[in-house]
Structure 1
Amino acid sequence: MQELQNTTNDIVSAIKQFTRSIDSSNDYRGDMSSLIQVTSNLKLINLDYWERLIRSELDTNLHFATRSKWQLWFKPNVKLTWLGIVNGDGYKREKSLLALSGGAPNAFFFALVVRRLNDWVPQVRKAAIKILPSLLRSTKPEYVAEVLCMLLLNWHSWGKIEEADNQIFLDMIATEEMALLLKSHLISSTSGPMPSLLSQIGRADILDNYLDEVASDAVQPYVRSKAYRSLFESRMTWVKGREWQWIDKAYGKRKLIPIIAERKIDVQPPFLELLNRAAADRSPIVRQVSAEFLIRNIEKLGIQSRIFAEKFAADKSANVVEQGKFVLRKLDEKALDNNINN
């Protein structure tokens, strides 16, 4: 809580410095260096709060600056640029977006632009889509990757963005450089909802060729599990949104259920090789996935099914053991039926 208050104070102070710096010597643009420095250290959370704070402080400080410095009879055309994209006036947000040039000064300001894809004003959303290609080319890839890793997690809750615009944006970031940065983040992150991130990135084929590497090397077992499952099924799935479903109409009970979307992937390592690697994984979470797909493919694997089943039946995890014993029972039943029929 104290950290939040300290950061709030720093941002308020930086905005005051910005408004005091606005004059004719810099074409009324103001010096954003202090604000850029403060926001460069911000985690990309509570963005609604930071947008409201910046908007409120700008309105207050520009009002006093206008009265004290420029007088009522002279109101210059203040060029807010990056700060204008959080203005309360949709027309000014649109105008500020279209006036942007060069790359985003840090990940925070790039995040503010991406959030305009879900703006409540359609013209602002269109302006964001229009400016993003040039912004992506000019912004440091590490800033873009940081924003993607935070904001993609919440895309399914963005009710205003069009699915077509979702895809347009994903197509914009589908570069080899971005793929390597995202892959590195997914593999090395020790905490956070990385499996959900992998799902949302899976909307595009940017990481398809790296799924095998993610499955083998990701630190988090649930990430490895998700990657293995995607490879086994030859598809990526993600939460597209949520919708209400009736539980009991008589009592007016209903609940929100996720809407699952999917996309086929062409990457398909040899099934037996994949099964063997997942079965040898250090986490029972991943070994359970391997055992699940053994169960699905008992008939196809022949004698290999018993070899894997015996291995799972001797596992340290009770859940994996149960799956292994299930396969052994099925194999024994099939062998008994064959003996009876012969």
Structure 2
Amino acid sequence: MEGLNVLVTGSTCGIGLHTAKILFKKGATVILTCRDEVRGRRAVESLLTDVHQDQVPKESERIHLYTLDVTNYNSICEFTDEISKMFRYIHVIINNAGIMGVPFELSVDGIEMHFATNVFGHYVVVERLLPLLLKTNRPDFQSRVIVVSSGLYQNAEAIPQVSKLLGQKTYEYNAKQAYAFSKLANCLYTVALSKMLAPHNVGVYCVRPGFVNGTELGRETHWILRALAAPIIWLVAKTLDQGCETVVYLAETPADQLKSGAMYYEKKEEPYNDMVDVTATRQVWAILRHLEDTVWKRNTQMTDEQRDHGEYVRDILEESLII
């Protein structure tokens, strides 16, 4: 991983932080994101824990911390603008930040929070950084996007109407279903993007980490339920080392040993369920485009340059390839 620039969202705790630690030890330059700068600084310190004091000044040059709120389009634009000024290449983007089980809430852009965090925000990050992902100074390494999903995507019952995701239509909100759909959308996004990036020689992979202890996904669960579940979690859950093993595997394995668009679990390809088909893939991609169009119409803070860049990177992806 030496010489590779790796971006990890949600990298102040859990799988994201642990993945960043491992890739940093393997020689990668890591880009960490945070919403809270205090937690971000702690994450940076955590990466440097095993570095000899004499080497800290030099090794810390391979760690870059940025503020990013993936639920806020303007924050994403500011973040990607800064990254584009600082870096010429991005070799790996790991879409890891996520939430689970939160009460109904709309993001600042008016999008249901599970979808805004787990899917749409990452779609925007990758889209706006495409020029850095498509360029490469490493012909020996295929650039790639890694999407962290969940086995709970199989619990999704349907793809909701876009009006529901925008909070414009009253419906019976179910946090478990909202999360399950967001994870299904991760799978469908992976398939769609892999097809559109195939001509550009960029891989896209989905990963199911499994049930992992030490993440903050359950922070919205009542503390009594968490306490009751603790013994079971201790018995059956994976450690963080085990949980990020496949993410690291997908980040470093030669592309000819991987299948772009596929789901991976425990370092092996795993078939998607029947909901991951061409119709659903095109439907979710259309939802993402519609949401972005809506945000563009509502957003009064975007600069002309940011809007022009958004239109430019859209043209890179040929949607007719989603077949």
User: Do the structures match in fold with TM over 0.5?
Assistant: no
Q: Which has the higher contact order (CA 8 A, sep 6+)?
A: 2
The structure in which a higher percent of residues are helix is: 1
Q: TM-score, normalised by structure 2?
A: 0.28
Q: How does the TM-score come out when normalised to structure 1?
A: 0.27
Larger Rg: 1
